[in-house]
Chain A
């Protein structure tokens, strides 16, 4: 892209051709007020705040939509523009009820900030607006249309980034308004995914998040911490607003990234809620049906003696969370593998990671990276979902899928044993029982690579043929492997064969996006995921469980805990039913009190920062385990394991991948 030179307010500015005037100005630290413009969204130039004067052009131009041209002389701060902008603000204020003293966002409002900036102390126009509704039907969001300036940011983020397109504009003139679906209430909306992106981008107090209002304006917060969301393998970048030791607001911060700074329902609500939950503050020991407080010494002593006995009998086990940091997983590996050498060591829902690891192994041996970055979904012409529920497992990928189908016009196909997660927008939907899943994929591989006729008993034949045809035609298909599906390593291998047969080749690897709930997926695979599943099968005397308490524990692990004769639970929260299983409870710092690193399955290392300083007198993992091993009378061996070793790294391009034979089941 060629470089262009502009003069903005007498300052020489450089930009790239294709930039708008606003982009060039922002790159060169020239401030132009904006309201409807938001980085990452399509500029629409509707608010007219960003107007500028270009020499040789009699009109005022909106800088957010006007392409910059080489040699342009732009003025952004003339008296004429100032008066014009002030007038726009007055019209906006006269357009609806913008009386700040009654608004929860006063002090945190872009409209108010601009009015103050322009010295707007009165409105010269009569207030002719009529009353609009305050839609309070949604549990999470409030939408007070009286505060709306119709900037359309919510509509654009919902359509372009989340892909839900729940919101749009109805009617015109004075009656123009934001609507949900077919004019229904927000709470009744069928398409809304409760991600709160509309509230994050709203410049006024129109769309607000109930949990966030009156807990501190952005400016009043003690601290703003950049970190990452620990709730799934995507690890979205977040900005946490901290006030009086509590996380009052969470926002996505990667505005210019492919996700557009969106978060999902989990990140938006679970994270701030987590600072308000009941904490486990001291070690506790079970006494009958209740717990009594105990000293660290006593609790760890009891845990050590039970663990020691169980180790001698070979009946000790440990389940740790895939949401732990690299550093914590190294400690777990040191203690349970290198020191105690436990046979039973795994992470929660380890079957998914084990399935992916084993299923991808033949391709990793070929040097091919068996998956691609999730945002590549938006450049695909066909997405095939294999027994996945992206909206529940890795919700932002669901946004990518919707955007690709609705906006980019890509095709969408679904094969699943449960209900179709994208009802209404799928082109082909095939219902398959879990036992037949492998056979269906095998038949598809044969149909795509060898043109064999496709037939699986009990499965819709025309739909299968249509899907095979779509796969053959597709240039860049993407395959979504669900968690349930991944527990079967053979199915993963066979589905990877299908990806290769369909020519699903991306720059960074094969076009596969695995749905992994573990935030620290790669490190979990490298450190704690065992070779064989044992949870729920092995006879355990003493079970150590480390949970972050952020996501509910799976039923299989809970069952294993209730079966174990003695359970040591290490968790930050009084989370049920987890604590009900405990014989000894050991408190741990919550996610917002910890720092460390997460490794996405693609090998990207991301830093989790401490949001809130620990308030309780808690011991760290290292200290707890050196005491525990000391009491057990063993020497703690420091682990050599590299949690972040990228075992899926590619050495050859994805188009070199070959299909591998899979035994029939």
Chain B
């Protein structure tokens, strides 16, 4: 889990206060509560879970268990650019696994994780729908096709320079 920055920590309690009023004393609240936290903070922050578990008498371990079970919950903030690497059949045949591995090595992240500088979040997706360009990845809203592992890194580094 990623801790919040000091700046947002100060406002954390104020931002989560409405959630306590909304959920206090109710049953079956774990998933909607976590969804609301993610809506508010962009991801499930450690401090937020700590704070809510104390305020709502919910075991922190239970909240963590549910947050890790469902793919929709993020335990890290999303990076500025989301890299979607296609792992569909056509891309797989064209070697998309190698591209994914190279990105993992280069940026030291795994599937679903965000780089330390907060720039990129790596996601494997099932199919991006442009198989003729295989192997393909999306960075933000832009599509990059006919990649090789080295070319993929070049493309991504160009985003870093742009930022």
Contact = CB atoms under 8 A, between A and B. Distances in A.
Contacts of A159: 59, 62
B59 A169 contact: no
A172 B69 contact: yes
Contacts of A13: none
Which of A165, A168, A406 counts the most B-chain CB atoms under 10 A from its CB?
A168
Given A165-B62, A179-B65, A425 B57 contact: yes
Interface stretch (A180-188, A259-267, A444-452, A467-475): A180-188
A165 B59 contact: yes
B57 A181 contact: no
B60 A169 contact: no
Nearest to A158: B61
B59 A182 contact: no
Contacts of A182: 1, 46, 49-50, 60-61, 63-64
A181 B60 CA distance: 6
Contacts of B68: 170-171, 179, 183
Interface string B47-89: 0011001100111111111001100000000000000000000
Interface size class of B (residues with CB under 8 A): 10 to 19
A424 interface: yes
A425 B59 CA distance: 10
Interface string A147-164: 000000000000100000
Contacts of B58: 406
A405 interface: yes
Interface string A403-416: 00110010000000
A170 B53 CA distance: 17
A406 B69 contact: no
If over half of B's interface residues share one DSSP class (helix, strand or loop), that class is named, otherwise mixed; here it is: helix
Contacts of B49: 182
Interface in B18-69: 25, 46, 49-50, 53-54, 57-65, 68-69
A178 B113 CA distance: 21
B61 A166 contact: yes
A165 B65 CA distance: 12
B59 A168 contact: yes
B61 A181 contact: yes
A167 interface: yes
B69 A168 contact: no
A366 interface: no
Nearest to B66: A168
B57 A170 contact: no
Contacts of A425: 54, 57
A414 B22 CA distance: 25
A191 interface: yes
Ranked nearest first, the 6 interchain pairs of A and B with the lowest CB-CB distance are: A165-B59, A168-B61, A168-B65, A424-B54, A170-B68, A171-B68
29 contacts: A159-B62, A165-B59, A165-B61, A165-B62, A166-B59, A166-B61, A168-B59, A168-B62, A168-B64, A169-B65, A169-B69, A170-B65, A170-B68, A170-B69, A171-B68, A179-B61, A181-B60, A181-B61, A181-B64, A182-B1, A182-B46, A182-B49, A182-B60, A182-B63, A182-B64, A405-B57, A406-B57, A425-B54, A425-B57
Interface of A: 159, 165-172, 179-183, 191, 405-406, 409, 424-425
